[in-house]
Amino acid sequence: MGDDQVKGLSRGLTNYGDKDFSVYLRNSFASSMGYSREVLKKPIVGIANSFSGFNNCHRHFPELVEAVKRGVLLGGGLPIEFPTISLGEVFLSPTSLKFRNLMSMDTEEMVRAQPMDAVVLMGGCDKTVPAQLMGAASADLPAVQLVAGPMMTSRYGEERLGACTDCRRFWGKYRAGEVGTEQINDIEGRLATTAGTCAVMGTASTMACIAETLGMSLPGTAAIPAVHADRLRAAEASGRAAARMIDQPIRPSQIITEKSVENALRMLLALGGSTNAIVHLTAVAGRLGIKVSLERMNELSDTTPVLVNLKPVGEHYMEDFFFAGGVGAVLREIKPLLHLDTLTVAGETLGDRLERDPGYVDHRVIAKAETPLELQGGLVGLFGNLAPRGAVLKRSAADETLFEKTGRAVVFNSLEDLANRVDDPDLDITKDDFMVLQNAGPKSASGMPEAGYLPIPKKLSSQGIKDMVRISDARMSGTAFGTIILHVAPEASVGGPLALVRNGDQIKLSVENKSIELLVSDEELAQRKSEWKSDNVPPEQRRGYDRLYAAEVSQADEGCDFAFLQPIPAEN
Ligand code: FES
């Protein structure tokens, strides 16, 4: 019997040079956990549980995992939970992105190395879902993504609060002197008050919607609030769906295809979703040899309307999105733009799913395709001599009056430089300048943090300036907003053109032409390049994971994945 046909505990044996002994030993050790012989004969659904005391978004996983187990048992399988790395967004230094690939490797290898016939992946916080999808795509065992679900909102006086757009909104007011110290401290305790992921259409919510659109999560489950009883029912159903896939396997490679990735891009654009999601989707698709290009994203963006009125772009929160109809309602609005023959973990096609009665849809939250919030998608890729391999702008969260503009560069050459000088009253800057941050890309010491949302210098914010053009090779939180150009590739710390920008240079932005140009002659740029030196510590002078990361991480346009995790091309 091939290893693929062997089920349950006898899969993937530990090698002692005697197969029967390996089975005997494994059964004997498993018995020590109190399983009966009958149970040990069952096929196994692994449950990758990314619960951690360092991850507030996953604090309800102990309850959720019990519901997954119930579903697996109802489906005739044996549920076995195992831990993986967890990535709690605000608890990781220098930035969670650096550990996404590590979590994906943990997930892939533990799914492959341990005896399971299918797996439920429990994730939620920003990098955990992409990491699990990347790992599942590479392991290619039947897998169901179960997300944590979003937090509920809270209140401060008459204000409705939800992490983390309101965290930034109030912090901006505090910096501008509009909110006092006592008030900001009170608000701190009310921004995030339940289990679950950030309450707006940030990265976690965007990735949850993408997982559902790809077909890796059960229909209707992305937006269920973390604390809603439906979330427990979704967990039970996910366990059951994974158990069903033991006998009727549908592998991630059958679900994540060029067509479903294109559907996911449409969803990202219709949501006005997080810029991070383009990096993550590129990485997930890359694990199956599918390329996501910013050029293609621009083509889709031109024909995909923004429909979802959620913060940080609009007014509402994830719980409103759930009650308004969630992912299914958005999919129905953009149905003519979708590939309907893609598969889902429920064993049906997207077309089958969209045949069902949509139920109530609140069009204040999810606009009709005929009356969209914006005619074009929320993200746009920009190209030019400043970003030969592209950069990303979330136009739906930006100030349109800044879209066609030439400005003088005010350059910060690192995060430290930014922190030291941005609030200096003597900083030579006006609201019409372009703030430029260098050396914050994937190979920099800071590891591409969410620092692209450069703070407006105090001398300008105190005059009421709320937005300026800001350019960097960093990322920004999905919960942030502003005219912020991100993911410039190649990055400054490998000598990309961003490294060559100097104070006083003119930069021309044209969203209409999808371009970002440094108005400096080629000769001058060549001269600057010949004088440029990297500040990066070379990989061979580092150790451990930091060394691996520095050597292997790819640029933003390739998903910041490791080259060695890409599939090996089939021989001709
Ligand atoms: Fe976990 Fe925002 S901190 S999703």
CA 278, distance to chain mean position in Å, is 8
Query: For residue 309, how far is its CA from the centre of ligand 1 (angstroms)?
Result: 20
* C-alpha 367 to ligand 1 mean position (Å): 26
Distance between alpha carbon 430 and the CA centroid of its chain, in Å? 33
Map residue 8 onto helix, strand or coil: helix
Is cis: bond before 57, omega within 30 of 0? no
The answer, yes or no, to whether any atom of ligand 1 lies below 6 A from the CB of 557, is no
What pLDDT, in 10s, does the model give residues 195-253? 999 999 999 999 999 999 999 999 999 999 999 999 999 999 999 999 999 999 999 99
Tell me how far apart the terminal alpha carbons of the chain are, to the nearest angstrom.
Answer: 29
Ligand 1 midpoint to CA 277 (Å): 14
Q: Does the beta carbon of 433 sit less than 6 angstroms from any atom of ligand 1? A: no
- 204 CB within 6 A, ligand 1: yes
Which pLDDT does position 479 carry in this prediction?
A: 77
Exposure string over 396-432, b if 16+ CB within 10 A, otherwise e: bbbeeebbeeebebbbbbbbeebeeebbeeeeebebe
User: How far, in Å, CA of 328 to CA of 343, rounded?
Assistant: 15
154: which strand partners? 161
Query: Does residue 92's CB lie within 6 angstroms of at least one atom of ligand 1?
Result: no
Lookup: tokens for 456: 């407006």
pTM, two decimals, is: 0.96
Residue nearest (by alpha carbon) to ligand 1 atom 1: 125
Ligand 1 centre distance from Cα of residue 58 (Å):
9
pLDDT at 2: 53
Q: Which residue among 51, 55, 57, 161 has the greatest number of ligand 1 atoms within 8 angstroms of its CB, and so is best to mutate?
A: 57
* pLDDT for the residue numbered 376: 93
Nearest Cα residue to 145 out of 346, 339, 285, 356: 346
Ligand 1 atom 2, closest CA: 198
* Residue extents of the structural domains in the chain: 42-152+194-351, 154-188, 379-533
| Domain spanning 379-533: CATH superfamily | IlvD/EDD C-terminal domain-like (3.50.30.80)
Cα 7 to averaged position of ligand 1 atoms, centre (Å): 37
Q: Which fold has domain 42-152+194-351?
A: Rossmann fold (3.40.50)
The confidence score (pLDDT) of residue 172 equals: 85
Q: What is the pLDDT of residues 471-513, one digit of tens each?
A: 999 999 887 889 999 999 999 999 999 999 999 999 999 999 9
CA distances from 307 to 95, 310, 329, 430 (A): 31, 9, 10, 35
Mutation to probe ligand 1, out of 54, 89, 99, 207 (largest number of atoms < 8 A from CB): 89
Binding site membership of 197 for ligand 1 (Cβ less than 6 Å): yes
DSSP assignment of 13-64: ---SS-HHHHHHHHHHHHHTTT--HHHHTS-EEEEEE---TT-GGGTTHHHH
Which regions in the chain score pLDDT beneath 70?
Answer: 1-4, 572
The ligand 1 atom nearest the CA atom of 56? 1
Q: Which of 99, 100, 197, 477 to mutate to test the pocket of ligand 1 (most atoms within 8 A of CB)?
A: 197
Residue 145, strand partner residues: 121
89 C-beta closer than 6 A to ligand 1: yes
Calculate the alpha carbon distances from 183 to 165, 177, 178, 187 in Å.
Answer: 17, 11, 10, 6
